[in-house]
Structure 1
Amino acid sequence: MGIGTSSGVIRDFAGSYYVSEDNMAFGKPTKYWKLDPSKSNCNWDLAIGSAVDVYKTRTHNLCIDNCHSMVAMALNNMKYDNSCNWNMVKLAFYLIFYSKYVSFGAVLKSWLPFCIILSAILIFSFHSKLGF
């Protein structure tokens, strides 16, 4: 997860002590949620820059302190939508309901691996119950 500056540069906490610039850790974005800069209560780029400065000094942790946390901090810094309680869980729900896929290929890239693995598990389970 990353957040775009006013010039369209995506910032992403991609690893310990590293915030990437237009080079996201897991490749090009497949989904996006278009934020409204008018809902920011301060300078958009300064709020993102402040979060970037903090996350350049942090160790990346997949479960606790990650790219979602950095985006939440940027949104809290700018008091986006008059809120200071952005966090990973809230962002996840907002992405589910407000984001859009960039293309049909992005949908496939996002869901096809999961569907293949789930199908393999179900087929294996079904066959093992039948004694194959």
Structure 2
Amino acid sequence: MALSIPDTEGLSEDSELKEFKVSPAMPPVDASKSRFPYCVVWTPLPVVAWLAPFVGHVGICREDGVILDFAGPFFVNVDNFAFGSTARYVRLDIDKCCFPPHLSGHTCENGFAHSELGTGISWDDALRMGMHNYQHKSYNLFTCNCHSFTASCMNRLAYKGSIRWNIIDIAVLVLLKGRWVNSAAILRSFGPFFVVMAVGLLIAGWPFLIGWAAFSGLLVAWFLIATYCMSDVIHC
């Protein structure tokens, strides 16, 4: 039976190509059917993204490409990505995860801590544990959100040997490694922002730009300070 070859269109760097050579049988991405196997996915957050286009809703996908996302209090979406279709995705490497059959079988450097956190015997098993955990958590945009859920799943996977993934790490991962699904996704993500900026500058002028900069700065500052200086507040 022929093996499925992962989608490497648009990859120009040798290091990026090597990332996919380790798993030649990885199922391909099929954006038309909203299937993103082994991916972190992102879509712009309505209204908020009109002022801060870097703000979005994220989820993590099962082996079959179905999206899981923490979308509200005690609720994890399955195959129904909140706030619209996927705009960007990051393909992850299953070979960089840790699935220990027992305590001494860890491939990560945090064996005991990883076991205390919760380990899975497969990708889907780790995501299932994360989903069950967040089905008992209350949602809060500023302290316990979709990024928190995705980071929790990455920690259960011990992706790249780390169990310290947080909301900033997830945001940076999407920002730096995310691939756009198509040109329409780029327009959907940035179009409203440019319209709002143009109208705001036309009506209010420079004070609007100053207000926008203050809003964006405060938003970024909150998540940075809360993540690295007030972990008890933002941890969930």
TM over 0.5: yes
**Letter of the 1:58 counterpart:** K
Alignment partner, residue 116 of structure 1: 195
CA-CA distance at 1:94 after TM superposition: 1.1
CA-CA distance at 1:126 after TM superposition: 3.2
Are 2:79 and 1:22 equivalent residues in the alignment?
yes
CA-CA distance at 1:17 after TM superposition: 0.9
What is the CA RMSD across the aligned residues, in angstroms? 1.4
1:63 to 135, 142, 160: 142
- SS in structure 1 opposite 2:137? coil
- Listed one character per residue, the Cα deviations across residues 22-77 of structure 1 (whole Å, up to 9, x for unaligned) are 10111111110111111111221111111100110111111110111000000000
- Listed one character per residue, the Cα deviations across residues 69-102 of structure 1 (whole Å, up to 9, x for unaligned) are 0000000001001111101011111111100110
CA-CA distance at 1:125 after TM superposition: 2.6
- SS in structure 2 opposite 1:71? helix
In 2, the alpha carbon distance for the partners of 1:117 and 1:93 equals 25
TM-score, reference length from structure 1: 0.92
Are 2:169 and 1:95 equivalent residues in the alignment?
no
Alignment partner, residue 9 of structure 1: 66
Alignment partner, residue 128 of structure 2: 49
In 2, the alpha carbon distance for the partners of 1:92 and 1:22 equals 21
In 1, the alpha carbon distance for the partners of 2:206 and 2:89 equals 39
- SS in structure 2 opposite 1:94? helix
In 1, the alpha carbon distance for the partners of 2:206 and 2:75 equals 46
CA-CA distance at 1:114 after TM superposition: 0.8
In 2, the alpha carbon distance for the partners of 1:72 and 1:35 equals 13
Identical-pair percentage: 34
Name segments (4+ residues, structure 1) moved above 4 Å. none
**Alignment size in residue pairs:** 128
TM-score, reference length from structure 2: 0.53
- Structure 2 unaligned blocks of 5 or more: 1-57, 100-121, 208-236
Alignment partner, residue 104 of structure 1: 183
